[in-house]
Amino acid sequence: MHFRSNKDQLFTNDSPREACGVIGVYVPEMEVSKTVFFGLFALQHRGQESAGIAVSNGENIRIHSKMGLVSQVFREDDLEYLKGFLGIGHTRYSTMGGSKISNAQPLIVDGIRGNLAVAHNGNVINADILREEITKEWGVTFERSSDTEVIAELYANTPGKDWFDVSSTIMRRLSGAYSLVIMNKNELIAVRDPLGIRPLCLGKLKNGWIVASETVALDNIGAEFIRELENGETVVINENGIKSEIWSGRRNSHAMCIFEHVYFARPDSIIDGKLTYQTRLKMGSELWKESPISADFVTGVPDSSTPHAVGLARESGIPYLETLIKNRYVGRTFIQPDQTVRDTDVKMKFNVLKSVVKNKKFIVVDDSIVRSTTIKRVVSLLRDAGASEVHVRVAAPPIKSTCHFGVDMATLNELIAYNMTNDQIKTKIGADSLSYLSLEGLLKSVEGSENTYCRGCFTGEYPIPVQLEMDKFSFEKNE
């Protein structure tokens, strides 16, 4: 498969681009490579650019990573090569550094603690400053253009009496989002940043342990879900068992990205103690309460918006109807930055059931709108099929600001809600009406207080100070 330069590509999917997926497995007297693989397979939705697995047998660390999907990267002989009882895995969507093999994870670095393999979900917003400081402090030569290498070098070289001491020192220096799985030849370390922006959970597997971005990874390999890691927590797993400490300087309540509930996490994952499918049903219910409209049927933009649409249909009493059939073999492809091609790709993804659409009034539910490319085409497809009215309902507030914590949310100039009013957007997408779920309705759906979730993409107010926009290729421009 040929991958274009990330500097030239636009994604056809109009939703925010996922964060990454991480997994770590420690099970004595067991070959864990296939376990890591199947857990990683369950996290494929979090990143589709590259995948990798590192494994240790107690004597050395072996690694295999390539560009592509998990199923494309690994073959049976690759997993046979990765022998060991301890392993970590990663599936990537780039939010800092380009989409190229040198930035595929896990990364392996060498420092005062020997070889470390590191996999990271999130985005460190002061990585450029830290990179300069580390270069001067330790004479490190950076070989990649991702913020993960900065984190890896910090864990490889920061002085400390144990991992908890090291993690505490590093948390004082890092700013941003980072859920980490780290391994040396004999230990698995898991870290969740002091804000708790990205998810990370702990499970029990036979006589060992597993950590992963989402509980679906545990389900996929038959592990028992124990709990979610606390913000600012470091967990160390080795031959002596499992130990945990929470950094004293952490935020009192986590500021997890609320989009994990809206879109990122799989609907069968438990996030912040709640089944994501249930919270999405509530979003649809609240959306109807805030913006009722007369219609014959409710439909959703498949597949991510289906739970929201079902929730709205249940609350309204209006029947839910599948009108758009998704071609599930049209992947997240890299294409020329050409609007005509983007529109064509949306058409390739969806086909409309014309006979059930003609002369009917529809409420179309989408989970979010970024640029409006997808929803505009969906409205057009329904109109072309003979729908008499198309009312769009969005199960999240308008996205008016970019993300700085591990999500590629597009630039301010590309965010349609930043540049247009609600009426202007309605006209642009060709809908009869357009309504978004309010921030209050969203917080009610996830049962969150004002201090519980990061909502910066809706409000422009973040849990820590950030610059207006960040450049994911900033390290590459300095090469």
Q: How far is CA 200 from CA 14, 21, 125, 270, in A?
A: 26, 10, 20, 11
Q: Do 50 and 105 contact (CB within 8 A), yes or no? A: yes
List the one residue out of 102, 75, 90, 77 whose CA is nearest residue 36.
90
Q: CB of 391 within 8 A of CB of 362?
A: yes
Among 20, 257, 403, 457, the active-site one is 20
* Lookup: tokens for 406: 């591990």
Q: Half-sphere exposure of residue 363, counting CA atoms within 13 Å on the CB side?
A: 31
Residue 150 CA to its chain's centroid (Å): 20
- Which amino acid is located at 329 in the chain? Y
Are 117 and 107 in contact, with CB atoms under 8 Å apart?
yes
Residue 361 CB neighbours (<10 A): 16
Tokens (6 digits) for 410: 């597009």
How many angstroms separate the CA atoms of 342 and 332, rounded?
Answer: 12
Q: Which amino acid is at 319?
A: P
Q: What is the rounded distance in angstroms from the CA atom of residue 156 to the CA atom of residue 110?
A: 6
Rounded CA-CA distance 477/455 in Å is 30
3-state DSSP call for residue 429?
Answer: helix
Among this protein's residues, is 20 annotated catalytic?
yes
Tell me the catalytic residues: 20
